[in-house]
Structure 1
């Protein structure tokens, strides 16, 4: 027999199902990405090009106190109608930005991935992320495991794509996760990783309840280039974090970075070749110009 919470949530479940039917009849992207950023201009274009190449149909980007030339970088993407840019001068603004996007745009994409500019989403099993999302249509969300990648000893960022420059990561015993969700089913966002839903729960790519201690990297991955170069890591520490008011601890970050170079991992490189082609081997990215 349904419990009290089930009865209480029933109208919201019915509404979510009705909204899903409405979205199914609209021409909207299969996948949109939601991200908040601060001082990320050198990385935005590569990140956008990569994700467009793996099937992302729209980007909802929230500018959080940036002072660099991000507007110049994003201008052609906005002109193409692929980026919706929102200025978001909100302290500790990451979760409020996510909630704002869900309220405003929950009918504008079938799925939303909530990731950061230093994270690259891809499928090791398909050309595009959108090629595998149909397998999870009955769930409100799929969790994507996110290995941490380190500096690979680079003091300065090499003049090649991030995904080619940094190919050493932590052991998979130290891993994080982010969410690709059906935004109409999200009930609450308590942290940046996993959310609560009107019905159901986050599953892994094998259809099981999501378990952070049981990483699955078969159909979806989210490479987290946590350090980039050592100089970039120092900039990251000084920039602060949009998800917490606590200042970053430099000693802790550099100590943690040493563990993020333990194993070679080139699983993203075949996807990189398909997205950018062989030209990226010799061409510098905007970050290195």
Structure 2
């Protein structure tokens, strides 16, 4: 009996050790960057070290704040004291691991430099997550007197603010978390700096409007946040209180502008801007969701050619609705009407079939003859499939995709900005209107949006990484499987379904394809066809 116990006990101990090691090894698989409870409020400043040889003076310390985004990306926000070469930096984490830090741009109002790095695998297993230090030479490790502050989470954050003439608007994630259910403004307070608080006037989705504070003149920047009174908790913030600001206007107010949120759309943008400018859109406001393609270069080329295109860096994932709310306020001084559509959507009227050339009056006549009390036009969408395309069509989406689903789906809007209600509530590209204004849905015989939604697989696959859908936060999670934002037959992984090039094709529709060729197509001297947006062009 004793011998049996002596032989059994080591086996039990060995089993426990083995299971513990397996658990530790796979722990990171049970944690995702988007599904971790918010960290308690802590100081959000860590150190930036501009490293130098050991014989040099101590490194300059610059304050930084870091936010954990999706896919284990860490956004490091640095004060604008940094100058010179932005390459060669690394993020050093409390596990003594480092990852490369890439300069990604400047966060506006006030300007702050942004770096992006990846949370190392071993650091993902250690909770709570802590903010990294930014190093020029990761081989030289700094001395730490204390633990770094906790890493902020993008899912619980005041990420932007906009001051108007009447109030301060905060954009906050993680406070109103359930669709259609919003906290009472009386449960909240706006906090400016450490002591000044004002009442919250409205609370809707991720938008909170506050009374402007009475602050004495001071040189320091004032951070603004939101307090949840019942929980005695202040939401972490990377936003600052700034003077009132508006989108710059060249002269008077434009009759019709367009605003959209974009991510890596450089190859599509020229066609979209060129086409819509020719039928009446005068200004384009793009909310850049962290593009890492040639978006900046393409926008600069468009501006040089005479198109009025402005970008606003809007890094935060899954914030399309609040971005549209921001645009409604930000552009209100220079745009009367705003068209909210995506870069893969093209407005079209069957009545234009016999027009030999486009005209800016095609859209301006719609909004300029607006009847009293009409504040929004709702336009239905036709969704196009891959149309046997396996790569992005070189002549553009209007020429490459010509087969669609037979039924219309959803609608997008052209809205009178002064008609939007104070809550700034919007869902799927259309807004709630103030009392006295009404919406009008246009028939598909009068006007429709061609939505080139299901494109060639390499283009469509990219949507998995940065989908800005309101109701499907993560396509790889088995949540809300019946949402219209999901793709029939696609599942939860970015794997090309069999027969993808022929999917979503019930009706051949080449009306806009033929029209854009008539308007913008040309035979080149080299013997091949091309569209006007494939070459240099004049406004």
Q: Where on the TM-score scale, by shorter chain, does this alignment land: which range?
A: 0.7 to 0.9
Match among 426, 436, 454 for residue 190 of structure 1: 426
Give the stretch that moved more between structures: 192-201 or 176-185: 192-201
Contiguous gaps of at least 5 residues in structure 1 = 1-25, 206-215
Distance in 2 between residues matched to 1:135 and 1:279, nearest whole Å = 38
RMSD: 2.7
Contact 1:29-1:57 at 8 Å conserved across structures: yes
State the Cα distance separating 1:110 from its structure 2 match: 2.5
Equivalent residue number for residue 109 of structure 1: 335
Distance in 1 between residues matched to 2:348 and 2:340, nearest whole Å = 14
> What TM-score results when the alignment is normalised by the length of structure 1?
0.77
Match among 93, 107, 129 for residue 363 of structure 2: 129
Name which one, 1 or 2, has greater alpha-carbon Rg: 2
State the Cα distance separating 1:114 from its structure 2 match: 0.4
**1:203-222 equivalence runs, <5 A:** 203-205=440-442, 216-222=443-449
Runs ≥4 residues deviating over 6 A: none
Equivalent residue number for residue 8 of structure 1: none
Please tell me whether residue 92 in structure 1 is matched to residue 349 in structure 2. Answer: no
Equivalent residue number for residue 452 of structure 2: 225
Match among 37, 41, 53 for residue 262 of structure 2: 37
Distance in 2 between residues matched to 1:238 and 1:146, nearest whole Å = 24
**1:1-289 equivalence runs, <5 A:** 27-79=252-304, 80=306, 82-126=308-352, 127=358, 128-138=362-372, 139-172=374-407, 174-187=408-421, 188-198=424-434, 199-205=436-442, 216-241=443-468, 243=470, 246-249=473-476, 253=487, 255=489, 260-279=504-523, 282-283=529-530
**Secondary structure of the structure 1 residue equivalent to 2:413:** strand
Contact 1:37-1:63 at 8 Å conserved across structures: yes
State the Cα distance separating 1:224 from its structure 2 match: 0.5
**Secondary structure of the structure 2 residue equivalent to 1:204:** strand
Closer, same or farther in 2 for the Cα pair 1:27/1:277, shift >3 Å? farther
> What TM-score results when the alignment is normalised by the length of structure 2?
0.43
Give the stretch that moved more between structures: 61-70 or 152-161: 152-161
**Secondary structure of the structure 2 residue equivalent to 1:197:** coil
Q: Deviations over 1:254-283 (max 9, x none)?
A: 627766211011221354135414349812
Closer, same or farther in 2 for the Cα pair 1:248/1:108, shift >3 Å? same
Distance in 1 between residues matched to 2:333 and 2:446, nearest whole Å = 26
Distance in 2 between residues matched to 1:277 and 1:137, nearest whole Å = 36
Closer, same or farther in 2 for the Cα pair 1:161/1:279, shift >3 Å? farther
Q: Deviations over 1:29-72 (max 9, x none)?
A: 22110011011111111111111111110001110011111000
Distance in 2 between residues matched to 1:243 and 1:77, nearest whole Å = 30
Closer, same or farther in 2 for the Cα pair 1:78/1:119, shift >3 Å? same
Closer, same or farther in 2 for the Cα pair 1:100/1:279, shift >3 Å? farther
Contact 1:169-1:260 at 8 Å conserved across structures: yes
**Secondary structure of the structure 2 residue equivalent to 1:233:** helix
State the Cα distance separating 1:107 from its structure 2 match: 3.0
Contact 2:402-2:513 at 8 Å conserved across structures: no
State the Cα distance separating 1:101 from its structure 2 match: 1.2
Contact 2:347-2:448 at 8 Å conserved across structures: yes
Distance in 1 between residues matched to 2:458 and 2:508, nearest whole Å = 21
Give the stretch that moved more between structures: 254-263 or 112-121: 254-263
Distance in 1 between residues matched to 2:390 and 2:476, nearest whole Å = 19
Distance in 1 between residues matched to 2:292 and 2:402, nearest whole Å = 30
**Higher helix proportion:** 1
Q: What is the aligned length? A: 251
Q: Deviations over 1:125-160 (max 9, x none)?
A: 244222333343431001011110110122222322
**Higher strand proportion:** 2
